[in-house]
Amino acid sequence: MANILCIGAGYVGGSTMPIVASHCPQHRFVIVDINEARIAAWQSDKLPIYEPGLDEIVTKTRGRNLFFSTDVNKHIAEADIIFVSVNTPTKTFGQGAGRAADLQYWEKTARQILENSTTSKIVVEKSTLPVRTAEAMERILNSNGSGLHFDVLSNPEFLAEGTAVRDMENPDRILIGGRETESGRKGVETLVELYANWVPRERIITTNLWSSELSKLVANAFLAQRISSINSISALCEMTEADVSEVAHAIGLDNRIGKYFLRAGVGFGGSCFKKDILNLVYLCEHYGLPEVARYWEQVVAMNEYQEMRFASKMVSSMFNTVAGKRIALFGAAFKANTNDTRESPALEVCRALLEERADIVITDPQAMENAQYDLGELAKRVTFEADPYAAAQGAHAVAILTEWSQFAQLDYEKIYASMIRPAFLFDGRNLVDHLKLYEIGFNVYPIGKPALTHLRSQ
Ligand code: NAD
Ligand code: UGA
C-alpha cells in the first residue's frame, strides 16, 4: 500500500483523484487544500464542482480509501507519492504580467513539501507548468542536504470539464515524463504501475521531463487553434452565405484534419486555453523566438475578436442600441455540463452588453453562483433567474451562450409569445433549429450562417 497525496482540491485534484482511488483500492489517497470551505464541500453532499458522474465516485471512495483534509503538513509527512495540482494562473504583476504563469502557489507547495518531509518521495507535477519548471522544483526540493531524495515527474492532465469522469476513466493517453536516471526511471515505473490499474499499457506513454511539460501546453494550444481557425471562417461564412457547419463537416471528413474541435461558436473559454497559450507565448519570447510567439498569440486575439464580434452583432442588429433593453443570456458556464465560469465567453458578452447599458438577465442550470462571483461588482447590475422562461419574459432578445441541452429543448413558441417584438435570438452555439425559430417569428442570428430575419432591408 502506498500513501498518495494530492495537493489542491480544485477541478483537477478533486475530479481525478477520486477516480484513481476507485481503481486502486490497495492505496490510500488524501486530497488536501488550504481552502477550508472547499474541503468542507468535498466532505459534504454538495460537492464544490458540478461534474457529471463524479458524485457517485466520491460517495463510493470517500471514507474508504479517499480522504479530504486541510492538514497539508501532516499529510505531506505521511505521503510516498505527492501529486501537485495547485492553480497556476496567469501572472498579474511584475515581469511577464499578463502572460507568464504565476508559479507562487507551486513554489510554496515545493517548499512546504521540503519542510515537512522525513522520507524520500516522488513528486508529480499535475498542474500545467512552463517547460523546465521541474528543474526549479528539483533544485528547491533537493536543496537542504537532508539526505532525502525527491524524484520530480511530470504527469499533465488532459481531462476536459463536463466530461472529466469519462476522460479519466478512458483516457486517450496518460503522459509521464521523468529523468533518465535510475531513480527517475524507477519513479516513472511506479506511476505507470498506478495508472495500469485501469489504463491499457499502450496508452501510457513516457517521455523526458521537458517533452511532457511542453506537450501539455502544446495540446491546449493546438485545440484552441482549431477553434480560432473555424471561428475565423465563421466570420467569412456570414459574409458569403456559406454555412460554417457545412464547411466544418466537409473539411472534417478529411482524416488528416479530423472532425473534432471544429464547432464554431461565441469563442472558447475555460481557465486554461488562454492562460496556457499566453504562457507558451511568453516562453517563446523568453527563448528569443518572437515570430513563434506572434503566431500563437493570434489564436487568443482571434478568440477575443469572436467574442466581441458576437456582442457587436447583437447591438447592430437591434437597431444600434440596447440601452435599457432587457436581454436574456441563456448560459453563463464556459461550456455545457460544468458550473465553471472562468474566462466564459458568456460573461465577456455580458460585460460588453452592460457597457452598452443593456438590462441583462442571466439563466444557467448550474453556473449562476460562479457567474455572480466572477462578475464581481457588475453582478449588481444583472438579474439572475433560474427559470429560462421567466428570464426571457419581456425581453427584446435571447442570446444562447452555453450549449446546455436544456436550452435546445425549451418551448420557443412560449418564449416568443412572452417577448417584446421584434424578438431577436442570437445563437452563439448554433444549438437550436434556426429555421423553426424563424418560422415562429424570431429574427435569428446564428454563428457562421446567414441570419434569418423578418426585418426588411437586412
Ligand atoms: P483550481 O483553482 O480549481 O484548484 C487549485 C486548488 O489548489 C485551489 O483549491 C487552491 O486553494 C489550492 N491550493 C493553492 N495553493 C495551495 C497550497 N499551497 N496548498 C494546498 N492547496 C493549495 O485549479 P484547477 O482548475 O484544478 O487547475 C489546477 C491546475 O491544473 C492548473 O495548473 C491548470 O492549468 C491545470 N489543469 C486544469 C484543468 C481543468 O480542467 N480545470 C485541466 C487540466 C489541467
Ligand atoms: C480543455 C482541453 O480540452 C483539455 O484537454 C485540457 O485538459 C483542459 O482544457 C485544461 O487544460 O484545462 P476544457 O477547457 O475543460 O478542456 O473544455 P473544452 O471542451 O476543451 O472546451 C474549451 C472551450 O472551447 C469551451 O468554451 C468550449 O465551448 C469551446 N469549444 C470547444 C468550441 O467553441 N468549439 C469546439 O469545437 C470545442
Mutate to test the pocket of ligand 1, among 31, 75, 87, 133 (most ligand atoms within 8 A of CB): 87
Residue 155 near ligand 2, beta carbon < 6 Å: no
Q: Which atom of ligand 2 is nearest to the CA of 227?
A: 34
Q: Give the distance (Å) from ligand 2 centre to CA of residue 403.
A: 13
Residue 308 burial by Cβ neighbours in a 10 Å radius (0-12, 13-18, 19+):
middle
Q: Which atom of ligand 2 is nearest to the CA of 345?
A: 26
Query: Diameter of the chain by CA atoms?
Result: 80
Packing angle, helices 104-116 and 133-141, rounded to 10: 30
142-175 pLDDT per residue, tens: 887 778 999 999 999 999 999 999 999 999 999 9
- Cα separation, 283 vs 99, in Å, equals 9
Q: What is the mean pLDDT of residues 232-237?
A: 98
Name which residue sits closest to atom 17 of ligand 2, judged by CA: 160
pLDDT given at position 62? 98
Mutate to test the pocket of ligand 2, among 166, 226, 227 (most ligand atoms within 8 A of CB): 227
Q: Is 346:266 a contact under the CB 8 Å cutoff?
A: yes
Distance of CA 292 to the CA centre of its chain: 24
Q: Is 165:52 a contact under the CB 8 Å cutoff?
A: yes
Give pTM, 2 decimals. Answer: 0.97
284 is catalytic: no
Q: Give the distance (Å) from ligand 2 centre to CA of residue 223.
A: 8
Give the binding-site residues of ligand 1, using a 6 Å CB cut-off.
7-13, 32-35, 38, 72, 85-88, 105, 108-109, 127-128, 157, 159, 161, 271-272
pLDDT given at position 457? 57
Which string of DSSP letters, residue by residue, matches 6-47? EE--SHHHHHHHHHHHHH-TTSEEEEE-S-HHHHHHHTSSS-
Name which residue sits closest to atom 21 of ligand 1, judged by CA: 33
Q: 3-state class of 58 per DSSP?
A: helix
- Cα separation, 232 vs 227, in Å, equals 8
Share of the chain above pLDDT 90, in %: 98
Name which residue sits closest to atom 7 of ligand 2, judged by CA: 158
Is the pLDDT confidence value at 129 over 80? yes
Residue 272 near ligand 2, beta carbon < 6 Å: yes
273-297 pLDDT per residue, tens: 999 999 999 999 999 999 999 999 9
Q: Give the distance (Å) from ligand 1 centre to CA of residue 33.
A: 10
Q: Which atom of ligand 2 is nearest to the CA of 429?
A: 33
Q: Give the distance (Å) from ligand 2 centre to CA of residue 162.
A: 10
- Cα separation, 36 vs 217, in Å, equals 30
pLDDT given at position 285? 97
Mean pLDDT of the chain: 97
Residue 227 near ligand 2, beta carbon < 6 Å: yes
Mutate to test the pocket of ligand 2, among 220, 348, 429 (most ligand atoms within 8 A of CB): 220
Is the pLDDT confidence value at 265 over 50? yes
Cβ neighbors of 438 (< 8 A, separation 6 or more) are 444, 452, 453, 454
377-428 pLDDT per residue, tens: 999 999 999 999 999 999 999 999 999 999 999 999 999 999 999 999 999 9
Share of the chain above pLDDT 70, in %: 100
Packing angle, helices 345-355 and 368-375, rounded to 10: 50
Name which residue sits closest to atom 6 of ligand 2, judged by CA: 158
Note every long-range contact of 11-14, with CB atoms under 8 Å and residues 24 or more positions apart, other chains counting: 11/49, 11/51, 11/161, 11/164, 11/271, 11/340, 12/85, 12/126, 12/127, 12/157, 12/159, 13/83, 13/85, 13/126, 14/42, 14/47, 14/48, 14/49, 14/54
Q: What is the mean pLDDT of residues 18-44?
A: 98
pLDDT given at position 458? 44
Distance of CA 181 to the CA centre of its chain: 34
Is the pLDDT confidence value at 430 over 50? yes
Q: Is 382:362 a contact under the CB 8 Å cutoff?
A: yes
Is the pLDDT confidence value at 222 over 90? yes
Helix, strand, coil percentages (3-state) for the chain, rounded to 5, are 45, 15, 40
Of 237, 272, 284, 350, which one is the catalytic site residue?
272
pLDDT given at position 90? 95
Name which residue sits closest to atom 28 of ligand 2, judged by CA: 335
- Side-chain-facing half-sphere of 339: CA atoms under 13 Å: 17
Q: Give the distance (Å) from ligand 2 centre to CA of residue 51.
A: 14
Q: What is the mean pLDDT of residues 171-197?
A: 97
Q: Give the distance (Å) from ligand 2 centre to CA of residue 268.
A: 7
pLDDT given at position 7? 98
Q: Is 6:13 a contact under the CB 8 Å cutoff?
A: yes
- Among positive and negative, which fits the CA dihedral 343, 338, 55, 13? negative
Mutate to test the pocket of ligand 1, among 70, 272, 335 (most ligand atoms within 8 A of CB): 272
